[in-house]
Chain A
Amino acid sequence: MIAELGQFALILAFVVALFQSVAIFAGLRTGDAVVHGFARTGAIAQFVLVLAAFACLTWLFAVSDFTALVVAENSHTDKPMLYKLTGVWGNHEGSMLLWALILTGYTGALAWSAKPVEARLISLTFAVQSLITAAFTAFLLFTSNPFARLWPGPENGQDLNPLLQDPGLASHPPMLYAGYVGFSITFSFALAALIDGRVDARWARIVRPWALAAWTFLTIGIALGASWAYYELGWGGWWAWDPVENASLMPWLAGTAFIHSLRVMEKRDTLKAWTILLALLTFALSMAGAFLVRSGVLTSVHAFAVDPERGVFILAILVALIGGSLLIYGLRAGLLKPTGVFSGISRESTLLVNNLVLAAACGLVFFGTFYPLFITTVSDETITIGAPFYNNTFNPMLGALLVLVPVSGMLAWKRGRLMPVLKDLAPAALAALAGGVAAFWIADRGLVAGALGTGLAIWIALGVLIDLAKRFKLFQIEFRASLARAARLPLGIWGMAVAHFGLAVVVFAITGVSAWKQETSAFLMPGQHLDIRQLTLTLDDVEQVEGANYVAERGYLTARRDQQVVSNLVAERRHYPVRGMATTESAIHARLTGDIYVTIGQPNPERGWPVFVYIYPFAIWLWIGSAILGLGGLLSIADQGRRALGVGRSPVPIRAKPEVAE
C-alpha cells in the first residue's frame, strides 16, 4: 500500500515537472504573467511529491517490508534502526530517489527565496530545472523503480553491505548530493540566462549564493567521504583516485573555478561566456559522475550493481541535457559582451590564472578517469591510471596554484601593483622558508615533500593573516579602531580569508599524513608487544563479542611511551554472516599531533593475531581544515544577503578616488 502510494507520488512528480517545464517555455513565448505564479507553485508541488515518495520508501525500510524489492535486497531485521533508515540511500534506486529529492529541494528553495525581481529569468530557471527533474524521475520510474514489488516477500532481506553500516556513511551521500545536485540550479540559471539573452553582474550576484551553497556542501561531502574511508578501511587511506572519487572531485574543481569567476563577473561584468560555460560544465560533470557509478562502464569499489540498460538511459539524459545546453551555448554565447576591463596585474588576472589551473586540473582528472575507457573502445589494450600518475601531475599543478593564493587576496581589483604586495608578504615568505627548512631537519622521512608542504602551508596561512591585518590596519592605528574595522569588514572577505586559511591547514595535514606517516606490523599473542618509534604497543587480550547482526573478535591494546600509558585501544574484526563479509573497526587514538591507528587481522593459530600499527601525523587537521574550509563558504553565503541587488546600501555620492583594494 505504502509502496504504491510512493510510486504514485513519483509519477505525479514526473508529470508536474514535465508539465511545468513545457508550460513555462510555452507561456514565456506568449508573455503570460500567470505562468510566473504557477512556476512557484509547481516547484513546491514537485518537492512535496518527491518528499512524499521518499518518506514512503523510508517507511518501507523502517518497518522492513520485504515485499519491496529494494528493501529485500538491502536490509535485514537485525540491522540497527539507524542503518535501516540510512540504507534507504545505500542502494542504486534509493540513492537516485535521494538525488531527485535534493533536486526538487533546490527547486523548492528557489521558489521560497526568489524575490519578485527578474521574473523572466527565474521562470526560465524553473523551466530548465523542471526539465532536469522530469528526466531524472523518468529514469527512476522506467529503469530504477524504488517501489518495485517482490512477491512473495522473503522471510528476511540480504542485509546492507557492512561497509555501509557506519555513521560516516549516513551523512556522506546526502551531503555529497546536496553539493553535486546543487549545481543543477546554477546550470538552470546559466541556461535560462542564455535563452533570455542577458548575462550581467546582476545575474552573477543572484547566482553566487547558490553556487557557494552547492560548493560548500560538496566540499563537506567529499571531506566526509574521505574521513569515512580513513576510519573504516583499516589502513588510513583517505583518497585513492578511484573513478567514483574522481567523479566528485571534478565538479568540485570546476565549482571552485566557478565561484571565483563569478566574483570577477560581479566586479567587472566580464568573463561572461567563460563563467556560463563553467556553470554548464560543473553540473555536466555531476551528471557524468552519476553515469559512471551506475552504468558499469568503469570498475570501482564504489560502483553499484552494474546494468547497461540504465547506462543507456543515463547516457541519453546526458546527451539531451548537456548536448542541448552546449548547443544553445554555441548559438547564444556570442551575444554576451564584456564591458569591464582589468589590467594584466590585478586580482582579476590572478583569478583568471586560478580558473586556468583549476580547469586544467579538472581536465586532467577527467582524462585520467576516462582514458582507459577510450583506449578499450578503440583498441585491444587496457591501461590503468592510478595514484602514482596523479601524484606526478595533479599535485604539482595544484601546489603551484596554491602559491598564488595569498598574493591574489592582496592585489587590488582592476589595477594592482605587485611589488608592494610582495613586500608585505615578505614575512610570510621568510617564515615559510624557515618552516620548510625546519621540517627538512626534524623529519626522518619524506624530507623534500614534507618541507615543500610545510613551506606552502605556512606561506598561505601567514599570507592570509597578513592580508587581514592590512585590511583592518593592525599595528598602524589604535587597536580598538582596528577591531572596529574588523567588525565592519564584509562577511565575504571573512569568508575568503577563513576558506583560504582552511586550505592551508588541509595542505599541512596532507603533508603530515602522506610524507611523514609510519607503519609496522607483527604477529602478537596476548601479552606480546611491538615497537614503533618511541611507542610500544602491547596486545593485552582478545575476546569474542556479538553485535546486532555480526560476530566480532575484539582486541584490547595498550600504547605506551617510556612506560607511561598513552592510550588504551580497542580494535575489532567483524564478520557479518548474512552477507558473508568481514570489516575491520580500527582503534584510533587521535591527538592534535597525530593519530595512532591500530588494526587487527585474522589470527594465525600458531603465531597469534597480526597487529597493524600506523602513525599518521596531524591527521585530525584534515577534518578540522575541511570544516574551516566549509565555514569560509558559509560566511561567504551569509554575505550575499546584505549585498544582493544593492538592497540595504545607502546611496553614496560618487567621488573621484582611486579604487581601494576591497
Chain B
Amino acid sequence: MNRVFLFLPLVIFLVMGLYFGLGLRQDPSAIPSQQIDRPLPEFDLPGIADGEPGLSSADLVGQVSLLNVFGSWCPPCAIEHPMLMQISRSGRVPIYGVDWRDRPGDGAAWLARHGNPFARVGDDPQGRLAIDLGITGAPETFVIDQEGRVRFHHVGIVDETVWRDTLLPVIVALEAE
C-alpha cells in the first residue's frame, strides 16, 4: 500500500476541518442580495389609507434615496423606527416605505402612532414587490441611486452605527457620481 494513499484520509479530514472551522463564523441563513446594481423592478403600489398617494418606481428616480420595507407586525421595525424618524427629520435623504403584508389600515394606524418618516408609502399586502426585491424578513433597507438602481441592501435594523458607518458612506459616494 502506497504511503501516500494511507495519509490521504488524514489530509482530506484536515482540509474539511479547516472549512468547518471557517464555517463556524458564517451565518448559514444569510443569502447574498441579487438586487445590487440592478434597476428597481417596476411597480406602482397603492397608498396605505384612502386618499393617500401610493409609491411607484418612478418616485425613486432623480435623487439618492432609501427604500425601507416594514410591517406593523414586526417588532424589530418598531426598534428601528426612531432612527428612521431621525434621518427623515434631518432631511439628509428621502425615505420611501413599503408596507409589507399588513392588513388594510394596520400600517397607517402604526405610522400614526409611531410617526411617519416616509416621504411616500406603498402598500404591498400580498408581498409581490417584496419577493421581487428578494426580501426574506423585515426590516430591510435599500439605497437607491439617482437612476433608480439598487446600490446597497441592508438586512436588519438600521441603527446609529449602521447609518453612520454603512449607509451614509454609500450615499455620499453615490451623490458624488
Query: B-contacting residues of A (Cβ < 8 Å)?
Result: 273, 277, 280-281, 284, 291, 295-299, 308, 311-312, 315, 318-319, 322-323, 326-327, 329-330, 333-334, 370, 372-374, 376-377, 380-382
Contacts and interface: CB of A to CB of B under 8 A. Distances in A.
Interface stretch (B4-12, B67-75, B116-124, B154-162): B4-12
A404 B6 CA distance: 29
Interface in B8-59: 9-10, 13-14, 16-17, 19-26, 28-32
A585 B35 CA distance: 42
A257 B24 CA distance: 31
A333 B9 CA distance: 12
B28 A377 contact: no
A204 to B, nearest CB: 18
B6 A377 contact: no
Given A281-B9, A323-B10, A326-B13, A315 B1 contact: no
B9 A277 contact: yes
Nearest to B4: A330
Contacts of A281: 9
A280 B9 CA distance: 10
A112 B20 CA distance: 38
Interface of B: 1, 3, 6-7, 9-10, 13-14, 16-17, 19-26, 28-32
A291 B13 contact: no
B1 A373 contact: no
Contacts of A312: 21, 24
Given A373-B23, A376-B28, A323 B6 contact: no
Contacts of A318: 17, 20
> Which of A280, A291, A334, A376 lies at the interface centre, i.e. has the most chain B CB atoms within 10 A of its CB?
A376
Q: Which 6 A-B pairs have the closest CB atoms?
A: A330-B7, A326-B10, A377-B22, A373-B23, A330-B6, A299-B28
B26 A377 contact: yes
Contacts of A333: 1, 6
Contact of B24 (A315, A323, A374): A315
Given A376-B23, A377-B26, A323 B17 contact: yes
B124 to A, nearest CB: 23
A315 B10 contact: no
A297 B28 contact: yes
A404 to B, nearest CB: 26
Given A273-B6, A333-B1, A319 B17 contact: yes
Contacts of B26: 297, 373, 376-377
5 contacts: A280-B9, A323-B14, A329-B6, A333-B1, A373-B23
Contacts of B1: 273, 333-334
B17 A373 contact: no
> Which of B22, B23, B31 lies at the interface centre, i.e. has the most chain A CB atoms within 10 A of its CB?
B23
A329 B19 contact: no
A308 B14 contact: no
B6 A334 contact: yes
A31 to B, nearest CB: 28
Given A330-B10, A373-B28, 10 more contacts: A277-B9, A296-B24, A297-B20, A315-B24, A329-B6, A333-B1, A373-B19, A377-B23, A380-B32, A381-B32
A12 B116 CA distance: 62
Contacts, number: 76
B24 A295 contact: yes
A315 B13 contact: no
A374 B14 CA distance: 14
Nearest to A324: B10
A578 B1 CA distance: 61
Contacts of A329: 6, 9-10
A318 B19 CA distance: 13
A273 B6 CA distance: 9
B71 to A, nearest CB: 19
B9 A326 contact: yes
B25 to A, nearest CB: 8
A382 B10 contact: no
A377 B30 CA distance: 12
Contacts of A381: 32
Contacts of B21: 312, 315
A291 B16 CA distance: 13
A334 B2 CA distance: 8
B123 to A, nearest CB: 23
Contacts of A295: 24
Nearest to B29: A299
A315 B13 CA distance: 12
A291 B9 CA distance: 19
Contacts of B13: 284, 322-323, 326
A280 B30 CA distance: 34
Contacts of B24: 295-297, 308, 311-312, 315
Contacts of B29: 299
A605 to B, nearest CB: 15
Nearest to A333: B6
Nearest to B31: A382
A377 B32 contact: no
Contacts of B9: 277, 280-281, 326, 329-330
A328 to B, nearest CB: 9
Contacts of B16: 370
Contacts of B10: 323, 326-327, 329-330
B93 to A, nearest CB: 27
A329 B3 CA distance: 11
Contacts of A291: 20
B18 to A, nearest CB: 9
B3 to A, nearest CB: 7
B20 A334 contact: no
Nearest to A376: B26
A485 B10 CA distance: 48
Contacts of B30: 382
A280 B13 CA distance: 12
Contacts of A374: 19, 23
A615 B23 CA distance: 42
Contacts of A297: 20, 23-24, 26, 28
Contacts of B28: 296-299, 372-373, 376
